[in-house]
Amino acid sequence: MLSTSTQAQEAESTPQKIYDAKSITLPNAMQVVVVENPRTPAVTHMVWYRVGAADEAIGHSGLAHYLEHLMFKGSKLVPDGDFSQKVKSWGGNDNAFTSWDFTAYFQTVPKDKLQNVMLMEADRMQHLIFTDEEALTERDVIIQERRQRTDSNPSAQLSEAMRAALFTNHPYGRPIIGWDQELQLLTPQSARDFYKKYYAPQNAILVVSGDVDAKDVFEMAANIYGKIDNGGAAMRSEWPSVPEIYGTVNIHHEHSNAKQTLWRKLYRVPSIGQNYNDAMALTIAAEIIGGNTGKLYERFVIEDQVASTTSFYYGGINVDDTTVSIGVTPKDNIDVAQLPDMVEGVLTSLIEGEGITDEDVQQAVSKLIDESVYERDSLTGPAMMLGYQLATGLTLDQAETWIHDLNEVDVEDVKGVIEKYLLPESQNYHALTGMLTPED
């Protein structure tokens, strides 16, 4: 019989869970997670595969995303490729997305159609069908997608180049959409091989959120996904490591379409799965430094008036290393060459004296915890956020409660991670800058 993991773990001292999800693991190793939300008679059904662009072989960039497109071309149950048409005809919506760490497929439908979408999704996990001709036409589509997303967008081109340099030798340095010259060479067979190698229950997580009873979903999933054989699917291989960055790297793009200068800095830092405590402190640091009430905006835009916009992000949820990114739109009279020192000056001032206070930290923590209430204010949101965290290696318990661990972060922790990762004296500092300027 199936057992639910959450019931056993509900101790009195457990902090409030964000999603209050229930979970089982099927005998074929596929995890099933359910968020009950009776607000509306609808359901979101998502399957997350723990395979993505970072798992492509060298020379095959874009393959994971290409396969994601081909998953809509047909399967035994839906031979004519009208998967989306069927979902639409029930009043639902569906789509899919690919990241470095995962590929996910989702449908939002009236709740009485849950079994229909589950049958179709399970079918394309096992019996994907597409012709070479269809696949070659779809390759033209993703080439156009690259032109639209990246090649027509100078700032996207800069991001792509900066990431490639920051993650030298690591698959995170490849664009998810793929390099243009490699996209042209992807073959229908390479997509089939990738599919056969990785798409299987042991690499998949099912997340269902909506007006359902978890027990019913577990039973349905056991009957549908539980019948699928793993067939010896491959687990992800270990990714290569990133070498040190020597010297000062600045990537400078000029573009005739650019009408103003953009400046960016990208740091390679640990994710939540790699260094939990530092990730908690970086999350608070980003809250204090970023945003329009943050320290960077306060200094650059309000006090010194050297920039018209600033940004500071930390994307903590990732399988391998992740990034802190800083963006600045300098005012016209500012010499961009001075920005690296100016940013370093702000960060250095934060780790000194009262640069960051207890109050700063407490307010950041209470804001993030308050905001977690909004996580449940939707049907698809919980499935999206929970699946994202599980597919990148968090346990369900961690996903439910990590927000409360922010309470453990103090001022010294926040100053500590700024010094450790964002300032150049540290051996853990891995960073480069980039800028986009108008053509002379």
Partner 1 sequence: MKNIILTIGFFVMSVLSQTVQADDRILDIQSHTSPAGIEFWHVEDRTLPILTMHFAFRGAGSLNDPDDMIGLGQLISNTMDEGAADRDSQAFQKALEDHAIDLSFNSTRDHFTGKIKTIKRHADLAFELLRDAVQQPRFDEEAINRMRNANISRIKSSQARANWMASRLMNDAYYGDHPYARNSGGTISGLEAVTAEAMRDFVKSKFGRNNLVLATAGDMSADEAAAIIDQVFSKLPQNSDLKDISAVSPPAQPLQKAYKMDSPQSVVQMAWPAFAKTDDDYHALRVLNHILGGGGFSSLLMDEVREQQGLTYGIYSHPVHMDYADYMVIESATAPESVAPMVQSVQDILTRLTQDNVTDQQLSEAKSYLIGSLPLRFSSTLSLSGAALRMQLDGREITALDDFASHINAVTAEDVKRVAGRIFRNINPTVKIVTGAVPANIDYDMVQSIPGIE
| Window 247 to 266, contacts with partner 1 (CB under 8 A) | 255-260, 262
Indicate which single residue of 82, 354, 358, 408 sits in contact with partner 1 (rule: CB under 8 A): 82
Sole window of 123-131, 152-160, 188-196, 410-418 interacting with partner 1 (rule: CB under 8 A): 152-160
Rg (CA), the chain: 23
HEC profile for 92-157?
CEEEEEECCCCEEEEEEEEHHHHHHHHHHHHHHHHCECCCHHHHHHHHHHHHHHHHHHHHCCHHHH
Number of residues that bind partner 1 (CB under 8 A): 77
Give the separation between CA 217 and CA 207, rounded to whole angstroms: 10
**Are the beta carbons of 182 and 109 closer than 8 angstroms?**
no
The distance of closest approach from Cβ of residue 429 to partner 1 in the complex, given in angstroms and rounded to an integer, is 28
Phi, psi angle pair for 98, to nearest 5°: -125, 135
Indicate which single residue of 40, 230, 357, 426 sits in contact with partner 1 (rule: CB under 8 A): 40
Give the separation between CA 296 and CA 195, rounded to whole angstroms: 45
Strand partners, 267: 324, 431
Indicate which single residue of 4, 25, 84, 311 sits in contact with partner 1 (rule: CB under 8 A): 84
56, 68, 160, 287: the active-site residue: 68
Indicate which single residue of 23, 28, 98, 433 sits in contact with partner 1 (rule: CB under 8 A): 98
Q: DSSP state, 75? A: B
Q: CB 271: neighbour CB atoms within 10 A?
A: 24
The distance of closest approach from Cβ of residue 71 to partner 1 in the complex, given in angstroms and rounded to an integer, is 10
Q: CB 408: neighbour CB atoms within 10 A?
A: 11
371 belongs to the binding site for partner 1 (CB under 8 A): yes
17 belongs to the binding site for partner 1 (CB under 8 A): no
Q: Is 298 a catalytic residue?
A: no
Give the separation between CA 242 and CA 359, rounded to whole angstroms: 37
The distance of closest approach from Cβ of residue 16 to partner 1 in the complex, given in angstroms and rounded to an integer, is 13
Exposed/middle/buried for residue 8 (C-beta within 10 Å: 0-12, 13-18, 19+) = exposed
388 belongs to the binding site for partner 1 (CB under 8 A): yes
220 belongs to the binding site for partner 1 (CB under 8 A): no
Joined together, the tokens standing for residue 406 give: 């922010």
338 belongs to the binding site for partner 1 (CB under 8 A): no
Restricted to residues 296-325, the positions that interact with partner 1 (CB under 8 A) are 298, 301-302, 308-309
Nearest-CA neighbor of 43 among 210, 218, 207, 206? 210
Sole window of 148-156, 159-167, 212-220, 228-236 interacting with partner 1 (rule: CB under 8 A): 148-156
| CA 77-206-174 angle, 5° bins | 95
184 belongs to the binding site for partner 1 (CB under 8 A): no
112 belongs to the binding site for partner 1 (CB under 8 A): no
For 195, the 3-state DSSP assignment is helix
Indicate which single residue of 4, 153, 168, 311 sits in contact with partner 1 (rule: CB under 8 A): 153
Sole window of 116-124, 194-202, 221-229, 378-386 interacting with partner 1 (rule: CB under 8 A): 378-386
Indicate which single residue of 293, 338, 357, 426 sits in contact with partner 1 (rule: CB under 8 A): 293
Whose Cβ is closer to partner 1: residue 144's or residue 357's? 144
**Are the beta carbons of 176 and 56 closer than 8 angstroms?**
no
Restricted to residues 351-370, the positions that interact with partner 1 (CB under 8 A) are 363, 366-367, 370
The distance of closest approach from Cβ of residue 178 to partner 1 in the complex, given in angstroms and rounded to an integer, is 10
138 belongs to the binding site for partner 1 (CB under 8 A): yes
Active site residues: 68
